[in-house]
Amino acid sequence: MSRPLPTILHVNVTDFMAAVEEVRDPSLRGRPFVIGWQGRSRAIVLAVSETAFQEGIRRGMWLAAARQKVRTLQVLAPSYEVYRRADARLAEVASRFSPVVESKGGGHLYLDLTGTQRLYGPPVDCAERVRKEIIEATDLFPALGLASARVVSKVGTRVARPCGFIAVPEGEERSFLAPLDVSLLPGVGARLLTRLHLLQIRTIGDLASLSEEEAEVLGPYGIVLRNRALGMDTSSVRVGGGVRAGLHEKEGNSVSAGITLPEDANDSCLILSALRSLLFDLGFTLRTKGLAAGILRLQATYTDGLQAQGTWRFPSPVTYDGEMMNAVQALLPRVLRRRVRVRTLRCDLGALTLDPGQLDLEGRQEAKVRALQESLDRIRNRFGKNGIRSCADLVFPCTFLS
């Protein structure tokens, strides 16, 4: 009986932001440049060109230190909207080959190629077609990893970077992973890597050889990491992420806004205050247009440039600030899972419909909420958007992005 074909494809555009900038300005190719915020306290390198990488500059390095290392270093301000559009374009191309595409942002995509053989041939051939069409559509050159498990396909792109292709046959996951440096395993950060080295664990195979009792010494996720080292990953590719493949909303069927925090923060109270201020403005915009939102999307960009995002679907379209804030409070713990400071936040209200208005059977409490919201909006209509502000704006003023 023939061995099952691996069907999970990971697409990874190495140094995504820098790669997009080189497409926008081809004169940057071959020159050392980084992406970061100049003139800011605690400014760090968010992305690195290949040439700058060869000069010893790394993502997360202090920008001042990078300038000292390469005197001719060029620093570009990040263009997050451009990167978002590039991500959306990648997902659009990928969705031509599979109905199950998960966009993780930052040039990362997962495709489940199960059942696509009749249309595009074996998964290896299909993967090559995906790569070819991405290059033709975006001028970006991705690394590809094909395996039976997500974690193995992701390690494959790390090995194949910047633009190679690795396919791991089912049943050979452990032998593929074993000799690789343990730093290539998803979930192994700098601090954990130091701890693993102290324990003489230097390869993924060393980690895979631990018993459950030994793995628990590494912390609450020790067994999960040990299982990843064994190539064990039962998680499936989920449709959606940064872009919902094949179900793009019509132009204008969403409103969005973003904020840059005055200082990078990981205090959940401060972040919630900033989001409350943001939603106060977004909700007012929604109501003045007579609309209600069916979906809320939240995106956070960390200090190191990585992004996290999540989506909340309302049981019925909403229009009040309080309803949106309840969704954000429920969604935020799912989005902010890293112990890294946050630099920017963005909210998007989608699946817009006409506001259904006051219900005939509206209860007393609902009537009070509506009356309060309408009173606040009347003040803002008369005196402008700054006629009345939430306390969060006074405690945590932010710079709004377009």
Per residue in 55-93, pLDDT (tens digit) is: 999 887 888 899 999 999 999 988 888 888 998 899 999
Mean pLDDT of 353-368: 47
Residue 395 has pLDDT above 60, yes or no: no
Domain 16-80 bears CATH identifier 3.40.1170.60: yes
For the domain made up of 82-229, give the CATH fold: Alpha-Beta Plaits (3.30.70)
Own/partner long-range contacts of 259-262 (Cβ < 8 Å, ≥24 apart): 259/344, 259/345, 259/346, 259/398, 259/399, 259/400, 259/401, 260/343, 260/344, 260/398, 260/399, 260/400, 260/401, 261/342, 261/343, 261/344, 261/345, 261/398, 262/396, 262/397, 262/398, 262/399
Question: Distance between CA 261 and CA 282 in Å, rounded?
Answer: 17
What pLDDT does 245 receive?
31
Lowest mean per-residue pLDDT among 28-42, 101-115, 229-243: 229-243
Please tell me the predicted confidence (pLDDT) of residue 144.
97
Q: Residue 388 has what pLDDT?
A: 56
Q: Which helix (H) or strand (E) holds 335?
A: helix 321-335
* Confidence class for position 365, pLDDT limits 50, 70, 90: very low
pLDDT at 252: 43
Q: Specify the higher pLDDT residue, 53 or 364.
A: 53
Which regions of the chain carry the CATH code 3.40.1170.60?
Answer: 16-80
* Cα–Cα distance for residue pair 127/246, rounded to 1 Å: 19
> Percentages helix, strand, coil for the chain, rounded to the nearest 5?
40, 20, 35
CA distances for 294 relative to 204, 250, 251, 321, 372, angstroms: 44, 14, 16, 14, 22
For 181-239, the DSSP string reads BGGGSTT--HHHHHHHHHTT--BHHHHHT--HHHHHTT-TTHHHHHHHHTT---PPP-S
- CA 166: distance to chain centroid? 24
Report yes or no: 101 and 237 within 8 Å, Cβ to Cβ. yes
Sign of torsion over alpha carbons 9, 52, 18, 257: positive
CB 146 within 8 A of CB 168: yes
Q: Residue 123: enclosing H or E segment and its boundaries?
A: helix 123-138
pLDDT at 387 over 70: no
210 pLDDT above the threshold of 90? yes
CATH number of this structure's domain 254-401, picked from the four choices 3.30.2320.50, 3.30.420.340, 3.30.1490.100, 2.60.120.200: 3.30.1490.100
Contact 182, 196 (CB under 8 A): yes
From-to residues of CATH 3.30.70.270 in the chain: 82-229
In what helix (H) or strand (E) does residue 346 lie, and over which residues does it extend?
Answer: strand 342-350
Say whether pLDDT at 379 is over 60. Answer: yes
Task: Judge whether residue 13 has pLDDT over 90.
Answer: yes
The answer on pLDDT for 358 being more than 70 is no
Q: Which residues belong to CATH 3.30.1490.100 in the chain?
A: 254-401
Q: Which residue has the higher pLDDT, 248 or 288?
A: 288
Predicted local distance difference test score (pLDDT) of residue 4: 60
> What per-residue confidence (pLDDT) applies to 250?
34
- What pLDDT does residue 261 have? 84
Give the rounded percent of residues in the chain with a pLDDT score beyond 70.
82
The mean per-residue pLDDT over the stretch 152-167 comes to: 94
In the sheet that 74-76 helps form, which strands lie side by side, from edge to edge?
47-48, 33-35, 74-76
pLDDT bracket for residue 256 (50, 70, 90):
confident
What gap in Å lies between CA 220 and CA 398, rounded to an integer? 36
pLDDT digit string (tens) for 297-322? 999 999 888 889 999 988 778 888 88
Q: What are the pLDDT digits (tens) for 242-253?
A: 433 322 333 346
For the beta sheet containing 8-12, the strands, ordered from the edge strand earlier in sequence to the opposite edge, are: 165-167, 143-147, 8-12, 108-112, 101-105, 240-241
